[in-house]
């Protein structure tokens, strides 16, 4: 149990939270919500002891194990699997000790390490680490790649996997779905539902919160309030709370007015003085219920296109990719006015490649690109946000697009995108990620496109802005192609789906719920096939239907071959037999008296174990080749 008692927290001169009294019980999964700057991350820092409360205290059990996601990942030579495995530091320490003991042939230390692993239940740790990597989108061939070889987004995933690997009683996740594709988000949701400890997660993804949370903590106006239920339940309860608050306020105002009239009328009359005094006391004791302040509904809009032809954009028999590397083969894609297409599939499968091919940012390897003469594309991607000019203001950015438009017109437009008054003249250097993304979207809207190609537009946007974006896209008259992990946005905006995976882009017959079912079914099939030998070899992870998150494109996949079922059965039997033999040797080696009783026998068994482990690794590789 974790308790906040009369808790208050400041950031500089600004009071973030005050008079917080809250108790959180073990096993709760709590969504932490509130506008950017409300104090959510500061609350996490206080829980971890990184900042001291300005008033009150936090009661945290002394032996509580807290896991959280690191903000940065050093450029390490360690493999991805080793990095994630180090999240369970006790088990990792023993595995490293065993490895070093084998190298120096210290069989007594090897036996001691086996005993410790048995006590820690750590024999399956490499398999658990590999499973976390697989769930978060890392293809098996990347598990042995050095951490420093991954890009920033993939390192964020490595940090998340390491945090999930840590044995913990309290897990703190700050925007865990950022940098994840929809496949990984769905997997993470299922993993968190099985997490036995207390979970606190800051998220702007309402579908994710709805799927995981049992409770919701709302930070607003320096206050913190706990609601029972997920995000949808919070919305209902908050609306009812505000309605009742307004009713109480209105009733109190009527009573105040009545009492004040009586006091003003009779306070000078001796015969009524006592009654007037009584009413004055009553007036002083009224609760002072606040009126409900109307929270301004944030709205944005994409202006109607100047021209909206029916046939806008098409790819015919197109091979999409880079250089000699084909990412997507034989794509036939037609976009017409009013189409709203969501692209589904794991990161690295080619969704962004397809979008870049539609924009002609990368040329087609083969095939034909066709666009209407009046086609005007509005393209949002991560590099769109990164390309904002440091030292320039929102006005400067719009002036570059329209040098002959008056400053007042530009200010009016930016005001609709929540850059009012002097905010339009502030440099972007101090803007948050959400503000930068909002400015990038405003610049796209200003150009009045008839096609929107949006690649993860919701990263860094808060819930209010996501709702506003969903409404604006729903009202947009042109065509939309959307890549997003935000299921709420996809569900509100898209009416057709394409699945991009295994080198193919094709229509998906179903909705998001059907895709989630398909994904779970596929993962279960892969696990049955690919995790047969995962207890002793991380390489036994099932091959994911994704490209490696490599800086450079991988070679094209070889064509699939039919596998002889007899050979497959023989390979599976061989793996099972070697696993059984290895387990028997491990049991013998775990005998604490073996080395003192029969030193030569212990050395022989240790040698046998090393040979069996090597044979098993080769057998598993052969089995994986047959599966593929």
Query: Is residue 166 very low, low, confident or very high in pLDDT (cuts 50, 70, 90)?
Result: very high
Average pLDDT over residues 297-301: 75
Q: What is the pLDDT of residues 109-128, one digit of tens each?
A: 888 878 888 878 878 888 88
pLDDT at residue number 198: 93
Residue 313 has pLDDT above 60, yes or no: yes
Residue 269 has pLDDT above 70, yes or no: no
Residue 547 has pLDDT above 50, yes or no: no
% of the chain beyond a pLDDT of 70 = 81
Mean pLDDT lowest among 101-115, 163-177, 538-552: 538-552
Mean pLDDT of the chain: 81
pLDDT at residue number 297: 57
pLDDT at residue number 448: 94
pLDDT at residue number 440: 92
Residue 191 has pLDDT above 90, yes or no: yes
Write out 61-115 in H/E/C secondary structure. Answer: CCCCCEEECCCCCCCCCCEHHHHHHCCCHHHHHHHHHHHHHHHCCCHHHHHHHHH
Residue 546 has pLDDT above 50, yes or no: no
Query: Is residue 527 very low, low, confident or very high in pLDDT (cuts 50, 70, 90)?
Result: low
Q: What is the pLDDT of residues 405-424, one digit of tens each?
A: 899 999 999 988 888 888 88
pLDDT at residue number 449: 94
Q: What is the pLDDT of residues 281-291, one digit of tens each?
A: 766 765 555 55
Query: Is residue 328 very low, low, confident or very high in pLDDT (cuts 50, 70, 90)?
Result: very high
Report yes or no on whether pTM surpasses 0.75: no
Q: What is the pLDDT of residues 142-156, one digit of tens each?
A: 999 998 888 778 888
Query: Is residue 552 very low, low, confident or very high in pLDDT (cuts 50, 70, 90)?
Result: very low
3-state secondary structure (DSSP) of residue 151: coil
pLDDT at residue number 544: 35
pLDDT at residue number 532: 43
pLDDT at residue number 558: 41
pLDDT at residue number 120: 80
Burial 1-37 (b: 16+ CB within 10 A, else e): ebebeebbbbeeeeebbbebeeebeeebbbbbbbbbe
Alpha helices in 267-346 (DSSP H): 273-285
Beta bridge partners of 201: 31, 173
Average pLDDT over residues 169-184: 89
Write out 168-211 in H/E/C secondary structure. Answer: CCEEEEECCCCCCCHHHHHHHHHHHHCCCCEEEEECCCHHHHHH
Cβ pair 188, 136 in contact under 8 A:
yes
What's the chain's length in residues? 628
Distances (CA, A) of 233 to 31, 209, 226, 227: 12, 11, 12, 8
Residue 545 has pLDDT above 60, yes or no: no
pLDDT at residue number 355: 94
pLDDT at residue number 341: 94
Question: pLDDT higher for 29 or 524?
Answer: 29
Query: Is residue 379 very low, low, confident or very high in pLDDT (cuts 50, 70, 90)?
Result: very high
Residue 457 has pLDDT above 80, yes or no: yes
Tokens of 601: 């026998």
Mean pLDDT lowest among 64-68, 235-239, 576-580: 576-580
Residue 556 has pLDDT above 60, yes or no: no
Average pLDDT over residues 24-32: 91
pLDDT at residue number 317: 93
Query: Is residue 538 very low, low, confident or very high in pLDDT (cuts 50, 70, 90)?
Result: very low
Candidates 581, 583, 572; CA nearest to 620 is 572
Query: Is residue 624 very low, low, confident or very high in pLDDT (cuts 50, 70, 90)?
Result: low
pLDDT at residue number 567: 66
CA distance 243 to 351: 44
Residue 139 has pLDDT above 80, yes or no: yes
Question: pLDDT higher for 278 or 418?
Answer: 418
Residue 42 has pLDDT above 90, yes or no: no
Q: What is the pLDDT of residues 577-601, one digit of tens each?
A: 776 676 666 666 656 566 556 666 7
Average pLDDT over residues 368-395: 90
Distances (CA, A) of 359 to 231, 376, 446, 455, 501: 37, 10, 18, 12, 20
Average pLDDT over residues 50-71: 86
pLDDT at residue number 394: 93
Q: Which residue is associated with the tokens 């209407």?
A: 372
């Amino acid at each position: 149990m974790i308790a906040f008692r009369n808790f208050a927290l400041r950031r500089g001169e600004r009071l973030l939270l005050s008079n917080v009294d809250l108790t959180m019980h073990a096993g709760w999964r709590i969504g932490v919500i509130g506008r950017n700057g409300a104090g959510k991350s500061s609350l996490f820092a206080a829980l971890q002891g990184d900042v001291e409360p300005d008033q009150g205290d936090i009661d945290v059990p002394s032996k509580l194990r807290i896991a959280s996601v690191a903000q940065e990942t050093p450029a390490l030579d360690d493999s991805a699997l080793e990095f994630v495995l180090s999240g369970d530091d006790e088990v990792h320490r023993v595995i490293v000790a065993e490895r070093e003991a084998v190298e120096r042939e210290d069989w007594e230390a090897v036996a001691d390490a086996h005993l410790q692993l048995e006590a820690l239940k750590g024999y399956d740790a490499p398999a658990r680490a590999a499973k976390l990597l697989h769930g978060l989108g890392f293809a098996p061939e990347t598990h042995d790649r050095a951490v420093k070889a991954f890009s920033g987004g993939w390192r964020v995933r490595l940090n998340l996997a390491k945090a999930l690997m840590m044995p913990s009683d309290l897990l703190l996740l700050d925007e865990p779905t950022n940098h994840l594709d929809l496949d990984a988000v769905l997997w993470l949701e299922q993993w968190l539902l099985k997490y036995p400890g207390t979970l606190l997660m800051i998220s702007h993804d309402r579908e994710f919160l709805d799927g995981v949370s049992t409770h919701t903590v709302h930070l607003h106006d320096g206050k913190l309030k706990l609601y029972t239920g997920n995000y949808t339940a919070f919305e209902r309860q908050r609306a009812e709370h505000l309605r009742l608050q307004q009713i109480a306020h209105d009733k109190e105002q009527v009573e105040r007015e009545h009492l004040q009239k009586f006091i003003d009328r009779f306070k000078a009359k001796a015969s009524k003085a006592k009654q007037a005094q009584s009413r004055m006391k009553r007036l002083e004791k009224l609760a002072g219920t606040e009126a409900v302040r109307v929270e301004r509904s944030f709205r944005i809009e994409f202006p109607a296109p100047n021209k909206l032809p029916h046939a806008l954009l098409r790819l015919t028999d197109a091979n999409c990719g880079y250089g000699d590397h084909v990412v997507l083969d034989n794509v036939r894609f037609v976009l017409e006015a009013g189409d709203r297409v969501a692209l589904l599939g794991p990161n690295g499968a080619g969704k962004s490649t397809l979008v870049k091919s539609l924009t002609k940012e990368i040329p087609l390897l083969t095939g034909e690109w066709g666009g209407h003469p009046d086609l005007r594309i509005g393209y949002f991607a991560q590099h769109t946000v990164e390309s904002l000019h440091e030292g320039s203001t929102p006005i400067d950015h719009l002036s570059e697009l329209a040098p002959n438009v008056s400053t007042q017109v530009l200010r009016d437009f930016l005001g609709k995108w929540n850059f009012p008054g002097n905010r339009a003249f502030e440099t972007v250097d101090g803007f948050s990620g959400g503000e930068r993304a909002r400015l990038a979207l405003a610049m796209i809207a200003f150009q009045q496109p008839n096609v929107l190609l949006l690649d993860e537009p919701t990263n860094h946007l808060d819930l209010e802005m996501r709702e506003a974006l969903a409404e604006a896209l729903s009202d947009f008259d042109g065509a939309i192609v959307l890549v997003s992990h935000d299921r709420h946005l996809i569900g509100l905006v898209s009416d057709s789906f394409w699945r991009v995976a295994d080198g193919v882009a094709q229509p998906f017959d179903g909705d998001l719920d059907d895709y989630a079912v398909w994904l779970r079914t596929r993962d279960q099939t892969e696990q049955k096939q690919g995790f047969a030998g995962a207890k002793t070899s991380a390489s036994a992870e099932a091959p994911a239907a994704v490209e490696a998150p490599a800086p450079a494109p991988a070679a094209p996949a070889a064509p699939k071959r039919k596998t002889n079922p007899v050979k497959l059965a023989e390979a599976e039997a061989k793996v099972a037999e070697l696993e059984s033999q290895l387990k028997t040797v491990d049991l013998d080696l775990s005998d604490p008296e073996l080395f003192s009783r029969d030193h030569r026998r212990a050395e022989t068994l240790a040698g046998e174990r090393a040979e069996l482990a090597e044979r098993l690794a080769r057998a598993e590789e052969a089995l994986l080749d047959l599966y593929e």
